[in-house]
Amino acid sequence: MTQYAEHFNPRATPQSEPADPQQVENSAGGYTFVVTDAARLERWLILGGEGGTYYATERALTRENARTIEACLAADGPGTVATIAQISESGRAPKNDPAIFALALAAAHADPATRAAALAALPRVCRTGTHLFTFVAIVDKFRGWGPGLKKAVARWYNGKSPSALAYQIAKYPERGGWSHPDVLRLTHAVPGPEHAAIFRWMATGDELGPREVAGSEQSKRCARSYSAVEGLPPFLQAYRALKQADEAQTIRLIIEHGYTHEMIDTRHKQSRNVWAALLPKMPLGALVRNLGKLTEVGLLAPLSAAVADVSARLTDVALIKKARLHPVALLSALKVYAQGHGEKGKLRWTPVPAIIDALDAGFYESFGVLEPVGKALFLALDVSGSMAGTPVAGIPGLDCRMAAAALAMVTARVEKNWHIAGFQEAGPGRFGGQWGGGRPRLVELGISPHMRLDDVLKKMAAIPMGGTDCALPMLVAREEKFNVDGFAVYTDNETWAGDIHPHQALCDYRQTSGRAAKLAVCAFTATEFSIADPSDPSEIDIVGLDASAPHFLADFFRGARAPLAREASEE
C-alpha cells in the first residue's frame, strides 16, 4: 500500500500544510516559520511599512509591527532603544521614518528607564529638522508634554552649534503642519547665550531689539519684557534678503553662504545659473534627488564640466558614507533618471548616459568593499505578484522584485561561481518551463552582472508573474546535479505553492548531494514570516534591503552566522 505514503510523508509536506509545529499560516495561505521579535524589529527599522504589502495594508502592517516594538521594549527597553539608534545612525535603512516611529513609542513607554533612554537618543535618531518634526508629530499622539520630553527637545536645539542650528531652521522651516516656533512654544526652551538671537529670530522673525509681550487675563499670563539680543549668525541675516533677491543677488548669496535649493525663492528654480551656483555645495542626497531638474534646465549636458563633477561625486565612497546615502536611494534615482521623467509631476528630461553610468557605479560602491566568498551560489529571485505589488520603502515605481534583482547583482558581480534564476508563472515540464510542470516554475532571467542596472530593472519589470515555490532551487539543484554550497532566496516569504517545504528540500539536497549547503532567505517585507528554519544553524533570515545585506550574506556563506557579522561591522 505504497499509495499511503503519497498522503503522508514527514520528509515532504505540501507548503499549504504545516511541516513543523513552529510554523504558522502566512497571509498567502502557506505555512512558514515565525521570526523572533528582535528579528522583526530589525525588519521594521530597515523595511518599514510605507505603502503596505501585497497582502497587508499599511495600517495593518504598522499596527502589527507596533505591537512587536512594544514587546521588545517590554523585554529590554534600553537595549531596544540602542538598536533603534544604531540602525538609524548606520545608514542601513532606506528611510529614517520607521526608526523615528519606534523611538516615539519608546519615549511614551511606561518604564522610566526606557523613556529616558529614548529621549537621550533623540539627537542620534532625529538628525535634521524634518526628523524632529516627524518625531514631535508622532510622540504628540502618544503622550503628554511632560518635563522630560520638553527638556529633550530643547536639548536638540541647544545641543547644536549656532551655524548648524541656523542651517537646520532655514532648510526645514516647517513640515507636516509643525514649525520651529510651534515646537519652541511647547518646550518653553531657554536658550543658551550663543543661541539667544537664533531663538528670538525663530519666534519673531526680525524683532531682535527690546520686546514687550502683553499679558493675557484669560490665560493668566503676565506681561513680559525682553531685552535686545545680538549675535544672529550671518547665515540668517542674509537669509532674510535671500527671499526678496533677484537672480543675480540670489546667485551671490548662494556662493557666499552656501544656501540650498529649499531656501531660495521658487521663481528662481528654473534658472540654469542659479542651479550652477547651488551645485558645488549641494549635499549628495539633494544632488541625487535633483538630477532630473539639473538636466532639464540644461546644466547636466553631455561632455560638460558639471557632468564630470556630478559623476565623480556619485561614485565617491567617502561622500556616500558621510551622507548616509542608502543603496536604494541610488537605485531609485537610477530608475527614475534613466526613464527621463518623474513618477509624479510634469518634469521631463533627456537622460545623460554618463550620469546613468555614474549612478550604476555608485550603487555598487555604496555597499563598500565586498570580499568574494569563493563558493558555488544559487541565487533565486521571487518575482511574483506580491513582490511586484509591494513598493520599496514607499518609493513610487520601485518594487521589491526590482530591488531583489539589484541586490542579487551585487553578489554576482563579486563572485565567480553563481547561477541566477527566478520563480515565474506555471509552464510545461517537471519543474515548469525550462525546469517545470503545470505549477510555479524556475527559469533563467537573462540577467548578468555585466548588464547596466537600468536594463536589469526593465527586464525584471517585463517578467510574467505567478506563484512562488521557494523549494524549487533545491529541487532543481538535486535534479540537475548542480554542486551548490549556498542557496539565497530573495522573497517576501508570502509563499504557498509546492509539494515540499524549502527546509525539507534543502535537507533532501544535502543528503543526496553530500554537500553541506546553506540557505539564506533575504526578506523584503516587514512581516513575521520566514521560510528559513530557525532551528537549523545553516539557515538564516536576512533583511533584504539592509545596506549591509551582501556583507551578512557573504559572512554567512563563509562560515559565520549573520548576527556575528553585524557585531563585527558595528565595531
- The separation between CA 197 and the C-alpha centre of its own chain, rounded to angstroms, equals 37
Query: Of 366, 390, 425, which residue constitutes the final position of a domain?
Result: 366
All three cell numbers of 516: 553541506
Query: Is residue 16 a part of any domain in this protein?
Result: no
What H or E segment, with its residue span, contains residue 171?
A: helix 162-171
Q: How confident is the model at residue 216 (pLDDT cuts 50, 70, 90)?
A: low
Strand partners, 380: 421, 489
Q: For residues 327 and 457, state if they share a domain.
A: no
Query: Is residue 241 a part of any domain in this protein?
Result: no
d(CA 519, CA 33): 14
Asked which of 134-138, 364-368, 381-385 is least confident by mean pLDDT, the reply is 381-385
Q: For residues 540 and 403, state if they share a domain.
A: yes
Burial of residue 304 (number of CB atoms within 10 Å: 0-12, 13-18, 19+):
middle
Average pLDDT, the chain: 86
Query: Is residue 327 a part of any domain in this protein?
Result: yes
Q: For residues 359 and 385, state if they share a domain.
A: no
Q: For residues 564 and 428, state if they share a domain.
A: yes
All three cell numbers of 155: 536639548
pLDDT tens-place string over residues 396-419:
778 888 888 888 999 999 999 999
Closest CA to 40 of 66, 78, 77: 66
pLDDT tens-place string over residues 239-272:
988 989 999 999 999 999 999 999 999 999 999 9
Q: For residues 348 and 401, state if they share a domain.
A: no
d(CA 343, CA 396): 6
| Long-range contacts formed by 447-453: CB under 8 A, 24+ apart | 447/405, 447/409, 447/420, 448/412, 449/409, 449/412, 449/413, 451/409, 452/356, 452/357, 452/360, 453/331, 453/334, 453/359, 453/360, 453/363, 453/406, 453/409
Its domain, for residue 288, covers: 282-366
**pLDDT reported for residue 224:** 61
Q: Amino acid identity, residue 318?
A: A
Query: Is residue 155 a part of any domain in this protein?
Result: yes
Report in angstroms the alpha-carbon separations of 414 from 372, 374, 483, 546.
6, 9, 19, 18
Query: Of 366, 396, 418, which residue constitutes the final position of a domain?
Result: 366
Report in angstroms the alpha-carbon separations of 251 from 20, 170, 267, 286, 509.
67, 17, 13, 18, 66
Q: For residues 152 and 208, state if they share a domain.
A: yes
**pLDDT reported for residue 8:** 45
pLDDT over threshold 70, residue 162: yes
Query: Is residue 422 a part of any domain in this protein?
Result: yes
- Which domain CATH number covers 517? 3.40.50.410
pLDDT over threshold 70, residue 129: yes
Closest CA to 208 of 175, 248, 166, 236: 236
Is 143 within 8 Å of 153 (Cβ atoms)?
A: no
All three cell numbers of 181: 516656533
Q: For residues 389 and 351, state if they share a domain.
A: no
- The separation between CA 531 and the C-alpha centre of its own chain, rounded to angstroms, equals 23
Longest dimension (CA), the chain: 99
**pLDDT reported for residue 213:** 59
Query: Is residue 526 a part of any domain in this protein?
Result: yes
Query: How many structural domains compose the chain?
Result: 3
Q: Using H for helix, E for strand and C for coil, what is the string for 194-261? A: HHHHHHHHHHHCCCCCCEEECCECCCCECCEEECCCCCCCHHHHHHHHHCCCCHHHHHHHHHHHCCCH
Phi, psi of 188 (to 5 degrees): 55, 40
pLDDT over threshold 70, residue 63: yes
Q: How confident is the model at residue 223 (pLDDT cuts 50, 70, 90)?
A: low
Q: For residues 393 and 316, state if they share a domain.
A: no
d(CA 396, CA 104): 26
Give whichever of 214-228, 310-324, 454-468 has the largest mean pLDDT. 310-324
Instruction: Write down the pTM of the prediction.
Output: 0.87
Q: What is the mean pLDDT of residues 520-547?
A: 91
Q: For residues 55 and 187, state if they share a domain.
A: yes
Q: For residues 358 and 383, state if they share a domain.
A: no
Query: Is residue 325 a part of any domain in this protein?
Result: yes
Q: What is the mean pLDDT of residues 179-191?
A: 90
Query: Is residue 503 a part of any domain in this protein?
Result: yes
Report the interhelical angle of 180-187 vs 147-158 (nearest 10°): 130
pLDDT over threshold 80, residue 432: no
Q: For residues 395 and 358, state if they share a domain.
A: no
Q: For residues 124 and 172, state if they share a domain.
A: yes
Query: Of 339, 366, 393, which residue constitutes the final position of a domain?
Result: 366
Report the interhelical angle of 353-365 vs 453-461 (nearest 10°): 90
Q: Within 13 Å, how many C-alpha atoms sit on residue 394's CB side?
A: 14
Is 538 within 8 Å of 385 (Cβ atoms)?
A: no
Asked which of 23-27, 67-71, 363-367 is least confident by mean pLDDT, the reply is 23-27
Alpha-helical runs (H) found in 258-399: 272-278, 284-289, 291-296, 305-314, 317-322, 327-339, 353-365, 385-388
d(CA 220, CA 460): 65
Q: In terms of pLDDT, which residue wins out, 426 or 484?
A: 484
**pLDDT reported for residue 255:** 96
**pLDDT reported for residue 524:** 87
**pLDDT reported for residue 486:** 97
Is 30 within 8 Å of 59 (Cβ atoms)?
A: no
pLDDT tens-place string over residues 463-501:
776 667 889 999 999 999 999 999 999 988 787 778 899
Q: How confident is the model at residue 385 (pLDDT cuts 50, 70, 90)?
A: confident
